[in-house]
Every structure is written in structure tokens, then in C-alpha cells.
Amino acid sequence: MRSRLSLLAAAIVVSLSILEIGLRVLTPYPVTTSSNKADHPRLGYVNSSQLPDVDAHGFRNSRLTLEDAEVALVGDSMVWSVNVHSEESFAAELAARSGRRFYNMGV
């Protein structure tokens, strides 16, 4: 019985260690409230351009440039569209419904 519990405990420790190493390799480490931010002289901060779908200005626009946009959306996490793919973002939905080009400046 003790050997089974020891084996189970060892398996849990090894599994958690592998998961921890994987997360550190695949994500910016350490993950903090500032690890995905970049300083900006006028706005204070923007999102890091190292993140997927973030342009050189630090905003969530993978294909559209500010110069090509018709409307700029400024806002918080609602405009950024947290927890959805870029194709399902607030700016993408507005663009699909209106036929206009929206530049997402959400932070």
C-alpha cells in the first residue's frame, strides 16, 4: 500500500514538473501584470508586440494598419476582446456587420 502511494506521489510530482517546464518554455516568464506590456510615451503602456496578433504599435491588429482604417476603436478589455480569437473580436464583428475597417486600440 505504501509503495503505491509513493508511486502515485512521485507520478504527481513528475507530472507537475513537466507542466511547469512546459509553461515556462511556451509563455513569457515570469507571468506578471506587466509581462505582456510595453512602455508607451503618451499612453503609459500598450500591449507587447511579441504577443500574437499585436502590431508594432501594441494594438490588436494583425492585418490592418492605422493608416488604412476608417474608424479607430479606443477602449479597455471589451475593445481588446479578451478570451476570443482576433476573428471574433469586437472590431472584427463591427467590420463584418458594417463593411468598414476598424483599427482596434483596446488595452
6 and 50 fall within a common domain: no
43 and 88 fall within a common domain: yes
Alpha-carbon distances, residue 33 vs 16, 55, 56, 58, 84 (angstroms): 23, 20, 20, 16, 19
13 and 56 fall within a common domain: no
Q: How confident is the model at residue 1 (pLDDT cuts 50, 70, 90)?
A: confident
93 and 46 fall within a common domain: yes
For the chain, give me the number of helices (H) and strands (E)?
Answer: 3, 4
Q: Which three cell numbers stand for residue 87?
A: 476573428
Our count of domains for the chain comes to: 2
Q: How confident is the model at residue 7 (pLDDT cuts 50, 70, 90)?
A: very high
10 and 48 fall within a common domain: no
- Residue 11 domain boundaries: 1-31
Angle at the Cα of 24 from the Cα atoms of 15 and 62, rounded to 5 degrees: 125
pTM: 0.64
7 and 24 fall within a common domain: yes
